[in-house]
Amino acid sequence: MTTTYPNTAAGYAQAVADHGEANLLVDPFAHTITVKPAEAAPADRYVTAEQFRDRFTGAELAAILAAQQTDAQIAQFLYLVATATGPFSLDDPRVVAGLPYLVSKGLIASNRPGQIRA
């Protein structure tokens, strides 16, 4: 919803009082003052376990599956993903922390967490 005020002294004063001066767009040609639209919050992205798995290459999956045999943190990360009962957020703190851990172990390249979560 767009809020518009007349470009008059009274309209300007009311717009500033309602929304703050930094949030206003003054159009001298249309004789209006419009409130800047709020920036949309980034959408929380959800994927199923299968969709998440498919974001990895075959080589990455093979390395991760092998590493889970000796690394409890990787095993736990895979368990959390595998047992998800529905879609989960790519912005979940466990995903956000888990991917850099895979990088630190040399299982995925440093540019991959951003690509996987995109």
46 forms bridges with which residues in the sheet? 89
Share of the chain above pLDDT 90, in %: 58
Q: Could you report the per-residue pLDDT of 42-79, keeping only the tens digit for each?
A: 666 899 999 999 999 999 999 999 999 999 999 999 99
Give per-residue pLDDT as tens, 103-118.
Answer: 999 999 999 999 999 8
Q: What is the C-alpha separation between 77 and 39, in angstroms, rounded? A: 33
Please report, for the chain, the start and end positions of each structural domain, with discontinuous segments joined by +. Answer: 4-35, 46-117
Closest CA to 82 of 61, 107, 109: 61
pLDDT at 70: 97
> Is residue 9 within 8 Å of residue 31, measured between CB atoms?
no
Structure confidence at residue 1 as a pLDDT band (50, 70, 90): low
Dist. CA 81–CA 95, nearest whole Å: 9
Q: Which residue has the tokens 């540019």?
A: 111
Which 3 state secondary structure label does DSSP give 106?
A: coil
Structure-token pair, residue 39: 């920036």
